[in-house]
Amino acid sequence: MTYSTHDVDETALPLPIVQAARTTAQEFASQQPTPAKAAQVRLNTLAVWVVNDYLQLMGIATNLTAGDSWNPLIRLCADVADLDVTDVGRLECRPVQSQTQPCSIPPDVWQDRIGYVVVYVDESLQEAKILGSTEMPSAAIALHHLRSPEDLIDHLAAQRTTVAQIDRPTIRLSDWIQGIVDAGWQTVDALLNPAQPEFAFRGLDTTAQSSSSAGTQRAKLLHFGRQSDDSLPEAQREVTIALLLDISPVADRNQPDERIIRLQVHPINQPYLPPNLQLTVLDATGIVFLDAQSRDADNYIQLEFSGEPEELFTVQVTFEGDRVTETFVI
């Protein structure tokens, strides 16, 4: 007996395909240059429509026309079936015409999705079934590994909560560059000197160091309680760490607006970070796109990425179920 799999037909949710869906799907298909592409667009459109109808039934707000699947240029250039779920993110709706073959998820949509819903569309294009969903894209997903439509509801609700949590005042990094510092943030010198003169942005190569006049660094102390462990002496129950953020222009003069963001987490008054401390970066839609975790005896952990002005990202530091969240605009 296996517990990880189930009969897809038991959890599948049958739903109608309305005439307007078929008309729209046909219209989108007729704009395609090849029969294969037309067939792909027709099914993608139907899958998105069915999931949209379902979420509408459930009272979950969506914006059908906001996605790439409704963009005539993008649906021509990529195999896309995304649906914008309001305040949650883009849900990919993959059509299948078999209930036994694995569902393939094209590389075109491996990024920037809150989940993947698999929709069976019958041959007559009259009836559909939501077979289930998954959060992780892979080239092919066996249908019996899909999570049920009920799990999709929970997943969307959880995603909405995350987005709501990060929907807080944002810190403008462009202000930092002009010398304005937000509450709680200090220059690295002010925070760490003279206590730890050796403390600096580590891991930067020399070229970055030499051009660091262009970069701006700020640090913030974060405290994590360890109330659960009463056996520890008082002083060890709280873990204090410093979150450092460095923003600097890229060396490439072809991308003058592009900025490199480096995030580091350092221990304070301890040689090492506690293990399993997690540093996470989420994009504007609340999707995790970078993640690092401390192991035994790590001096610090670091994440680095690039972005353009007005791009939004959220940093989370998580330790033993306790989480600090900060949202930034580049």
Partner 1 sequence: MNELESQLRLLVTEACKHPPGSPHRQKNLTRIIRLTSSKLWRENVPYYQDALQQTWVYFCQNICERSTGERYDPNRSTVITWLNYYLRRRLQDFYIDTQKQQSRTASTRVITSRSGEPEDQLDPIDNLPATPAAPPILDDVRTWVEADADGELRRVHVDGHPHVNCQTLILRRLPPETGWKELAAEFGLAVSTLSSFYQRQCLPRLRKFGASQGYI
Considering only residues 68 to 87 of the shown chain, the ones binding partner 1 according to CB under 8 A are 68, 71-74, 76-78
Judged by CB, which is closer to partner 1: 153, or 303? Answer: 153
Judged by CB, which is closer to partner 1: 76, or 200? Answer: 76
Q: CB under 8 A: which stretch of 100-108, 231-239, 290-298, 313-321 binds partner 1?
A: 100-108
Q: Does residue 251 interact with partner 1 by CB under 8 A?
A: no
Q: Give the residue carrying structure tokens 């139907």.
A: 46
Q: Does residue 203 interact with partner 1 by CB under 8 A?
A: no
Q: How far is CA 81 from CA 12, 44, 76, 105, 324, in A?
A: 20, 5, 12, 10, 34
Q: Does residue 256 interact with partner 1 by CB under 8 A?
A: no
Pattern 30-49, binding to partner 1, x per CB under 8 A? xxxxx-xx------------
CB of 282 to partner 1, least distance (A): 16
Q: How many residues sit in the footprint of partner 1 (CB under 8 A)? A: 46
Considering only residues 263 to 322 of the shown chain, the ones binding partner 1 according to CB under 8 A are none
CB of 18 to partner 1, least distance (A): 5
Instruction: Give the Cα separation of 295 and 275 in Å (integer).
Output: 5
Helix, strand and coil content of the chain, in percent to the nearest 5, comes to 30, 35, 40
Given a contact cutoff of 8 angstroms between Cβ atoms, the answer to whether 280 and 316 are in contact is yes
Helical (H) or strand (E) element with 2: none
Structure tokens at 292: 């690092």
Pattern 115-154, binding to partner 1, x per CB under 8 A? -----------xx---------------------xx--xx
Query: Could you tell me whether strands 89-96 and 115-121 are parallel, antiparallel, or unpaired per DSSP bridges?
Result: parallel
Instruction: Give the Cα separation of 39 and 32 in Å (integer).
Output: 9
Given a contact cutoff of 8 angstroms between Cβ atoms, the answer to whether 191 and 242 are in contact is yes
CB of 96 to partner 1, least distance (A): 18
CB of 178 to partner 1, least distance (A): 27
Which among 259, 296, 266, 278 has a CA at the least distance from the CA of 203?
Answer: 266
**Residues 6+ positions from 18 with CB-CB distance below 8 Å:** 49, 53
CB of 210 to partner 1, least distance (A): 22
Q: Does residue 111 interact with partner 1 by CB under 8 A?
A: yes
Judged by the rule CB under 8 A, the positions of this chain that interact with partner 1 are 11-20, 30-34, 36-37, 53, 56-60, 68, 71-74, 76-78, 106-112, 126-127, 149-150, 153-154, 157, 254
